[in-house]
């Protein structure tokens, strides 16, 4: 390894030179930062400035550089020097853009800039250049579990991109739910008529594609390994076959909500009350002719009841909207009108939702004579040779009823996601404790598993509260908590066929990304391309298992000696394990307890009589730190008494940073993380929640130090909270000034 040679580059562009004493900052980098080379430049990110840095790397053998200019989130392409370790001191967004102008603020602004230079120099000297996971995994084949529209689309898109695919489908033919449809809703203009599903053509392309292998009447017996090196046992009629793949797309679709759970709507009580799947079966049997009921009678009147067992606020049925049902009922109403315009067709709804097609499809149905009634159905009961539908007319605001030969309930989608780990884990614990009943329950639950993962966290992927595979629905919609395994289609969220095919394409692209990153030893996401990976100093490990338990992604197991065993290609590089470790033996080459700890301790701490408090902000780099940058960009003025350090995730925050900061004389510590809970926004799923739990225990430390509990505070911050973060900072600084300077300053 080459000897470390450091360099600091101070930019005076973007008004930095006019608002700050750049020469003084250079002296700080040289004398206090102990940087071997210190250079100033009027426009560091331009071609000349970048070339200056490149020349120093090549000719001066510089290995570690600190760039004091703009935020680390800016000019990432210009300041991309992959052969050296880099830190960034945020002088533009973090100092001159967010701190009040005017001569009276010059001193505190300069002090803030000086500290950021000190922090940047201190950080980079504790970094080493990440070279990537040495255990590269080179398998680039993809497994698609499920052969419906989502699965086939995902497989075909990836195959067309040049990747080999294995499809595993539990039924004897490809198609999934789409194979049970008579027609589908239109995907494009004109949104006028139900269309052929296109299934036969798609299935033909998949079956004949040279890069796609298909297992029918097969299931997954076991899945082990990690991105780039999954080993999957496929169980079929001929026995078990092992397939080696690099990434997995789970496209196992949905089942319909059980109509028998809706007896008040006639479900399970009347043969003339069916769900939308049953309606498709009747339409397929009719094949364009007049539609008949199961008893052979031609249907002359039909009522479609929307939101049957959906959008239920009582907790009895599905709380969500399944997205496709309104369009599906409109389509099915057209089946009747196209076969016989004289059939009375009524679609009864509270809200009519037809995503993606505006009102065109709805208007087309109206023109065919379909009646749309805004009403809330109370009961459906057998009446004569048909059914009586009682409902509240929401337009006339009165109770009324109508009779129909057939009633179709829009019952919604229930994901086929496998074992619910929230129920699985306590049963496993009880079974391991010797409970015979739990052992039998475990066997029965195992039968419902889709992937049969041999992960210590359970056989399937974690689910959201409604059973859908957990994925970050805004930022990373396909990325589950199992790295390299992606969810696509209605197993991820309720959706229609068009949305499912688009979803499948996105999941295929993410699976391709993960196998390519795994082959280069890089992180898959959200830090895509990150070459760092966790390193553990086993001689200091106490085998407490906190890292193993708290890792949100199942990236850590235990070896035969009960030491943590890291699976780097599953790792998302969030640092949650690092924050969990009480003895601080887990780190990354370019992000560690020391890289942050050195920054905390490097600042020039004013004495207790200065009336200049110092407040540490530990800000999540995914939401809070961008919000701070935006606050600067939008000139939301906040106090120059804060010092902000971006962290990969709040889950990576080790409480030693907080106690060290307070011991060093900081007057307060403020953490800014993502929203946690059911509607979490944390890029690493559990990081913000874990940090919140750890910080709830910090009060005992404060008592031992004789400090007020208000000296540590945490906030949930969204990326859009640029104005709010400035208010939070200013309010907290005022609170600290009210409490007074920390008594710990006198000990430093």
Please tell me whether residues 609 and 563 are part of one structural domain: no
The domain total for the chain is: 5
CB 247 within 8 A of CB 403: no
pLDDT score at 483: 93
Question: Residue 623 region, left (φ>0) first, then alpha (ψ -120 to 50), else beta?
Answer: alpha
Residues 6+ apart with CB under 8 A from 488: 150, 151, 154, 249, 250, 251, 478, 500, 503, 504, 506, 507, 508
Tokens describing residue 94: 């973090």
Nearest Cα residue to 418 out of 367, 492, 511: 492
Q: What is the arithmetic mean of pLDDT over 474-502? A: 91
Overall pTM surpassing 0.85 (yes/no): yes
**284 and 358 share one domain:** yes
pLDDT confidence of residue 265: 97
Residue 268 and residue 380 in one domain: yes
CA distance 736 to 744: 14
Q: What is the mean pLDDT of residues 283-293?
A: 96
C-beta neighbour count of 233 within 10 angstroms: 16
CA distance 353 to 185: 13
pLDDT of residue 744: 87
Question: Would the CA dihedral through 427, 432, 437, 443 be positive or negative?
Answer: positive
CA distance 86 to 508: 33
Please list, residue by residue across 30-47, b when 16 or more beta carbons sit within 10 angstroms of its beta carbon and e when fewer do. eeebebbebbbbeebbee
Q: Is the pLDDT of residue 570 over 80?
A: yes
Pair 641, 102: CB distance under 8 Å: no
CATH of residue 470's domain is 3.50.50.60
**Whether residue 283 is found in the same domain as residue 230:** no
Classify residue 17 as left (phi > 0), alpha (psi -120 to 50) or beta. Answer: alpha
Output the DSSP codes for 103-151: GGGHHHHHHHHHHHHHHHHHHHTT-------SS------EEEE--BHHH
What's the CA gap between 714 and 696, in Å, rounded? 10
Report the length, in residues, of the chain: 748
Give how far Cα 415 sits from Cα of 184, 354, 544, Å.
20, 21, 36
Question: Predicted confidence band at 269 (pLDDT cuts at 50, 70, 90)?
Answer: very high
Specify burial of residue 332 (Cβ count, 10 A radius: 0-12, 13-18, 19+). Answer: buried
Query: So what's the pLDDT on residue 608?
Result: 83
Is 498 a domain residue?
yes
Residue with tokens 């004569």: 384
What are the tokens at 696? 């709830």
| Percentage with pLDDT > 90 across the chain | 84
Claim to verify: residue 735 and residue 612 sit in the same structural domain: yes
Out of 72, 100, 129, pick the residue that ends a domain. 129
Is residue 435 assigned to a domain?
no
Q: What percent of the chain has pLDDT over 70?
A: 99
Distance of CA 385 to the CA centre of its chain: 51
- Asked if residue 359 belongs to a domain, the reply is yes
Residue among 363, 365, 329, 361 nearest 347 (CA): 329
Instruction: Give the per-residue pLDDT at 1.
Output: 54
What strand order describes the sheet that includes 247-250? 212-215, 165-168, 142-145, 247-250, 485-487
pLDDT higher at 86 or 471: 86
Q: What is the pLDDT of residue 748?
A: 56
Residue 570 belongs to domain with CATH number: 3.30.70.20
On whether both 696 and 719 belong to a single domain, the answer is yes
Among residues 244, 226, 686, the alpha carbon closest in space to that of 453 is found at: 226
Residues 305 and 365: their CA atoms lie apart, in Å, by: 16
Q: What is the DSSP letter of 172?
A: S
pLDDT at 448 over 60: yes
In a domain, 600, yes or no: no
Six-digit token string for 204? 């033909």
Asked which of 102, 129, 156 is the last residue of a domain, the reply is 129
Does 402 map to a domain?
yes
CATH of the domain at 90: 3.40.50
Whether residue 526 is preceded by a cis peptide bond, meaning omega within 30 degrees of 0, is: yes
Any bridge partners for residue 233, and if so which? 222, 242
Average pLDDT of the residues in 490-508:
94
Q: What is the pLDDT of residues 500-538, one digit of tens each?
A: 999 999 999 999 999 999 999 999 888 888 999 999 999
> Is the same domain home to 644 and 720?
yes
pLDDT of residue 472: 67
Residue that finishes a domain, picked among 84, 104, 129: 129
Rounded to whole angstroms, the Cα distance separating 100 from 644 reads 17
Q: Which domain holds residue 190?
A: 142-253+461-519
Please check whether residues 562 and 479 belong to one and the same domain: no
Dmax (CA) for the chain in angstroms is 96
Same domain, 75 and 193: no
What integer pLDDT is reported at residue 473 of this predicted model? 61
Task: Report whether 121 contacts 8 (CB < 8 A).
Answer: yes
Average pLDDT value for residue range 42-61: 97
* pLDDT score of 214: 98
- For residue 444, being part of any structural domain is answered with no
Instruction: Give the number of C-alpha atoms closer than 13 A to the C-alpha of residue 551, restricted to the C-beta side.
Output: 27
Check whether residue 624 and residue 732 sit in a common domain.
yes
Give the chain's count of helices (H) and strands (E): 20, 29
State whether 582 and 723 are in the same domain.
no
Which pLDDT does position 137 carry in this prediction? 87
| One domain, residues 263 and 199 | no
At residue 572 the predicted structure's pLDDT band, cuts being 50, 70 and 90, is very high
């Amino acid at each position: 390894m080459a000897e470390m040679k450091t360099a600091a580059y101070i930019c005076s562009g973007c008004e930095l030179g006019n608002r700050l004493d750049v020469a003084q900052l250079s002296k700080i980098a040289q004398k206090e930062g102990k940087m071997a080379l210190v250079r100033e430049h009027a426009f560091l990110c331009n071609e000349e400035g970048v070339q200056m840095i490149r020349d120093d790397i090549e000719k001066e053998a510089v290995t570690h550089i600190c760039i004091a200019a703009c935020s680390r989130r800016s000019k990432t392409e210009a300041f991309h020097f992959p052969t050296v370790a880099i830190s960034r001191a945020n002088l533009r967004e973090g100092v001159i853009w967010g701190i009040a102008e005017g001569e009276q603020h010059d001193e505190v602004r300069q002090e803030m800039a000086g500290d950021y230079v000190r922090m940047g120099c201190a950080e980079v000297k504790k970094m080493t250049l990440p070279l990537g996971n040495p255990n590269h995994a080179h398998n680039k084949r993809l497994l698609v579990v499920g052969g419906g529209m989502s699965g086939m689309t995902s497989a075909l898109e990836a195959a067309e991109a040049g990747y080999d695919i294995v499809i595993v489908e539990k039924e004897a033919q490809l198609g999934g739910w789409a194979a049970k449809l008579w027609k589908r809703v239109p995907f494009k203009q004109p949104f006028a008529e139900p269309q052929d599903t296109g299934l036969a053509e798609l299935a033909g392309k998949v079956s004949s594609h040279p890069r796609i292998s298909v297992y029918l009447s097969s299931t997954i017996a076991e899945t082990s390994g990690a991105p780039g090196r999954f080993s999957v046992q496929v169980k079929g009629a001929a026995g078990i076959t092992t397939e080696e793949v690099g990434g997995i797309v789970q496209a196992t679709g949905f089942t319909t909500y059980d109509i028998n759970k809706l007896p008040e709507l006639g479900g399970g009580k009347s043969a003339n009350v069916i769900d939308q799947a049953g309606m498709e079966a009747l339409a397929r049997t009719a094949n364009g002719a007049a539609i008949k009921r199961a008893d052979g009678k031609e249907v002359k009147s039909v009522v479609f009841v929307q939101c049957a067992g959906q959008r239920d606020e009582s907790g009895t049925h599905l709380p969500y909207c399944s997205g496709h049902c309104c369009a599906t009922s409109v389509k099915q109403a057209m089946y009747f009108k196209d076969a016989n315009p004289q059939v009375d067709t009524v679609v009864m709804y509270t809200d009519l939702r037809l995503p993606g097609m505006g009102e065109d499809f709805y208007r087309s149905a109206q023109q065919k004579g379909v009646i749309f009634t805004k009403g809330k159905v109370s009961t459906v009961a057998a009446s004569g040779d048909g059914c009586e539908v009682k409902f509240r007319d929401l337009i006339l605001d009165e109770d009324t009823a109508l009779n129909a030969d057939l009633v179709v309930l829009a019952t919604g989608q229930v994901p086929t996601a496998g074992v619910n780990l929230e129920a699985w884990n306590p049963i496993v614990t009880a079974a391991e404790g010797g409970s015979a009943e739990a052992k039998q329950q475990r066997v029965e639950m195992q039968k419902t598993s889709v992937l049969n993962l041999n992960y210590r966290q359970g056989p399937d992927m974690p689910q959201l509260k409604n059973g859908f595979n957990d994925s970050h629905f805004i930022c990373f919609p396909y990325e589950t908590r199992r790295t390299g395994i992606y969810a696509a289609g209605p197993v991820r969220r309720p959706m229609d066929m068009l949305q499912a095919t688009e979803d499948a394409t996105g999941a295929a692209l993410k699976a391709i990304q993960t196998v390519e990153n795994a082959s280069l030893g890089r992180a898959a996401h959200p830090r895509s391309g990150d070459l760092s990976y966790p390193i553990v100093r086993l001689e200091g490990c106490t085998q407490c298992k906190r890292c193993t338990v708290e890792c949100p992604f199942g990236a850590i197991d235990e070896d035969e000696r009960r030491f943590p065993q890291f699976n780097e290609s599953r790792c998302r590089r969030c640092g949650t394990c690092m924050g969990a470790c009480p003895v601080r033996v887990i780190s990354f080459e370019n992000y560690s307890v020391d890289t942050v700890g050195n920054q905390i301790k490097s600042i020039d701490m004013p004495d207790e009589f200065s009336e200049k408090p110092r407040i540490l902000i530990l800000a999540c780099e995914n939401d809070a730190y961008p919000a701070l940058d935006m606050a600067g960009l939008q000139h939301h003025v906040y106090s120059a008494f804060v010092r902000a350090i971006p962290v990969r995730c709040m889950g990576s925050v080790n409480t030693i940073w907080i106690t060290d900061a307070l011991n060093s004389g900081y007057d307060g510590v403020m953490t800014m993380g993502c929203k946690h809970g059911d509607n979490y926004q944390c890029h690493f799923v559990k990081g913000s929640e874990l940090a919140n739990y750890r910080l709830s225990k910090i009060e005992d430390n404060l008592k031992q130090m004789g400090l007020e509990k208000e000296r540590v505070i945490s906030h949930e911050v969204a990326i859009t909270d640029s104005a709010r973060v400035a208010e939070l900072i200013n309010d907290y600084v005022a609170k600290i000034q009210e409490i007074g300077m920390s008594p710990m300053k006198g000990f430093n």
